[in-house]
Amino acid sequence: MRVKRCGFGLWPVMILAFAMQLSMVAFFSLRASAEEFSDRLSGVTAWGTTSIYVYQQDLSSMKEIGAKEPFQILGRYNDDLLKIEYNGMIGYVKPDNILINLPDVEPDIIYNLTNATGSVFTSTTESGTVNLKLDIFGSQIYYNGDSSLYYDSGAYSGTAASRAGKVWDEKLGRFEFVVPVLFTAAEKISAARELAAADGYNFKIYDAYRPNAATKLMNASFNSLYNQSGGALRLGGYDTGFFVAAALSSHNVGCAIDVTMVRGTEEADMPTKMHVLSGDAVLLDYAPSGRIASELYGLPYNYYSDHFAATMTEDAKKMCQYMIRSGMTGLGSEWWHYQDQEGYMDNSGFYSNLASWYPCRLYGSVEAAEAPEQVTTRAEAVYQLWAAEGFPAAAGDVSFSDVTEYDYYYNAVRWAVSAGILSGSGADTFSPDDAVTRAGFLNMLYRDCGSPAEYASGTGSFEDVSANAWYYDAVQWAAKQGITPETSGIFRPAGVLTQRQMHEYLVRASQSGIELSANYI
């Protein structure tokens, strides 16, 4: 088991990584009626796909903001301009060439960016499923690998949370993935989600922006897999370029999402699992034309429905209808892929500005709304500890019936179990959506720091933490480190840990002299 003394080398990363958006839809309630998209723009982080000009109210130019540089949207000024703040300056920008952080404006969507933590791609042959093996920056990446398409620890610098995974979002008051999409794409996705919500569905997004380097890697790897199989992959008439672009993907421009739907706590019935690069997963029957986004752009839903593949399910057809009615464009070879084709045409020339950019830095001065009292689940607690350690490789596999390689926390669970930080909730279950108690989380953190013995003795600080409690040493240690706001009296060890409480713990760690990133506090 990897044992590490805190020594606070852990903490500069950990501040970016502990609390969670509750992804269980059982606690999720769809908006009954749509708030206007414009009403949700205040406090949203945005970036330019290219250098953009900030204007004064009379449209005289004030300043130029470089591509990828974060700024904050204050609201819509008129049909043509957004009011923004940038480094204390108030101005106005056109929305044509900007991306916005989708969770800031669509917080109810479930975000499960598996490519940010461990890529999941498969294909099929006549005899079954094959795994897509990827190689980026010299690191082997498998469908259930320990690394990410987005970063490699040897190629990128900075804290783990600046490379991949969830960061603290002040607007949402929770830790969440950064999901950059074009402003025009966000408007269309929002409209589609409202159509889905009216029928009792929510969206679950598995991918959005993707670096161009990842696209080229995926294409080369998929073609290699095709050649290794002797051309035996089942592609339904499509060639490999339909599944992974050879040079430029709409994902590289920030105008595409890979999306499915959920109802209640279950994913909708779709033709395949997500990211199965195969003819089993196609949206439309193959034809020599009319199957790529540029050819499908502007076509009505009836065109799609007239050409649906035989494998398309009713849920997949409904999602297609929501997307097309909202102005998104489909891709004939993938049921999950939809893009803002108009945005692609307007921004595809700027993709090189974003080539090695993920995830993005959020605008540091966003005002924090009062955080929802969402609970921290076992899955999120494990994931945040894993991120705090820099996404270390996991030893061995897990065989929990309720944890799959399609969960963003899959590799985190593998790591935590192998490192002895925690175990399953039963013989073959992990219970990822169960709430974590205050004592339970501190015990995981204590184990991750090597269970330092010097904090295990002495008089107890809390009258509701007995000396024979399984969490006694962990709570004593956290109190003496100044991690908890309580140092004596009542601790409430069985209390459910909320995201706000977790964030407060980490702020106190910062006040104790641990250096933390100002972008996420």
Report pLDDT digits (tens) over 70-86.
999 999 999 899 999 99
Burial (CB < 10 A; 0-12, 13-18, 19+), residue 466, is exposed
Asked whether residue 67 carries a pLDDT value surpassing 90, the answer given is yes
pLDDT of residue 456: 54
* Spatial separation of the C-alpha atoms in residues 498 and 372, rounded to whole Å: 8
Residues 199 and 339 in one domain: yes
Secondary structure element (H or E) that encloses residue 446, with its range: helix 438-448
Indicate whether 487 belongs to any domain. Answer: yes
* Spatial separation of the C-alpha atoms in residues 244 and 222, rounded to whole Å: 8
Q: At what angle do helices 438-448 and 378-388 cross, to 10 degrees?
A: 30
Residues 397 and 466 in one domain: yes
CB neighbour list of residue 129: distance below 8 Å, 6 or more residues apart: 122, 123, 276
Confidence of residue 339 (pLDDT cuts 50, 70, 90): very high
* Spatial separation of the C-alpha atoms in residues 208 and 140, rounded to whole Å: 22
Residues 350 and 481 in one domain: no
Indicate whether 27 belongs to any domain. Answer: no
Asked whether residue 25 carries a pLDDT value surpassing 90, the answer given is no
Confidence of residue 131 (pLDDT cuts 50, 70, 90): confident
Residues 77 and 130 in one domain: no
> Residue 334 in 3-state DSSP?
strand
pLDDT of residue 16: 33
pLDDT of residue 361: 82
* Spatial separation of the C-alpha atoms in residues 285 and 309, rounded to whole Å: 5
Per-residue pLDDT tens over the stretch 148-176: 777 654 444 444 444 567 877 888 888 88
Per-residue pLDDT tens over the stretch 469-492: 999 998 988 888 788 877 678 999
DSSP string spanning 454-497?
Answer: GGS-S--SBTTS-TTSTTHHHHHHHHHHT-SS--SB---TTSBP
Other Cβ atoms less than 10 A from the Cβ of 387: the count is: 26
Confidence of residue 366 (pLDDT cuts 50, 70, 90): low
Indicate whether 431 belongs to any domain. Answer: yes
Indicate whether 445 belongs to any domain. Answer: yes
Indicate whether 26 belongs to any domain. Answer: no
pTM assigned to the model: 0.86
Could you list the residue range(s) of the whole structural domain that residue 90 is in?
A: 39-102
Which has more confidence, 309 or 368? Answer: 309
Residues 219 and 116 in one domain: yes
Distance between alpha carbon 177 and the CA centroid of its chain, in Å? 4
> Residue 168 in 3-state DSSP?
strand
Query: Which residues are registered as beta bridge partners of 421?
Result: none
Indicate whether 209 belongs to any domain. Answer: yes
Q: Is the dihedral angle over the CA atoms 320, 323, 328, 334 positive or is it negative?
A: negative
* Spatial separation of the C-alpha atoms in residues 399 and 46, rounded to whole Å: 40
Number of domains in the chain: 3
Among candidate residues 48, 78, 102, the one where a domain is terminated:
102
Confidence of residue 459 (pLDDT cuts 50, 70, 90): low
Residues 232 and 296 in one domain: yes
Of 161, 146, 111, 149, give the one whose Cα is nearest residue 384.
161
Which has more confidence, 41 or 21? Answer: 41
Confidence of residue 31 (pLDDT cuts 50, 70, 90): very low
Which has more confidence, 399 or 15? Answer: 399
Asked whether residue 314 carries a pLDDT value surpassing 90, the answer given is yes
User: Quick one: what percent of the chain has pLDDT higher than 70?
Assistant: 81
The region of weakest confidence among 297-301, 482-486, 516-520 is: 516-520
Among candidate residues 74, 102, 130, the one where a domain is terminated:
102
Residues 207 and 326 in one domain: yes
pLDDT of residue 289: 86
Confidence of residue 6 (pLDDT cuts 50, 70, 90): very low
Residues 180 and 301 in one domain: yes
Indicate whether 365 belongs to any domain. Answer: no
pLDDT of residue 288: 86
Average pLDDT, the chain: 83
Burial (CB < 10 A; 0-12, 13-18, 19+), residue 34, is middle
Of 88, 107, 99, 115, give the one whose Cα is nearest residue 40.
107
Among candidate residues 354, 388, 419, the one where a domain is terminated:
354
Residues 163 and 253 in one domain: yes
Which has more confidence, 499 or 67? Answer: 67
pLDDT of residue 11: 39
* Spatial separation of the C-alpha atoms in residues 487 and 464, rounded to whole Å: 12
Residues 78 and 124 in one domain: no
> Residue 513 in 3-state DSSP?
coil
Per-residue pLDDT tens over the stretch 209-254: 998 888 888 888 899 889 988 899 999 999 999 999 999 999 999 9
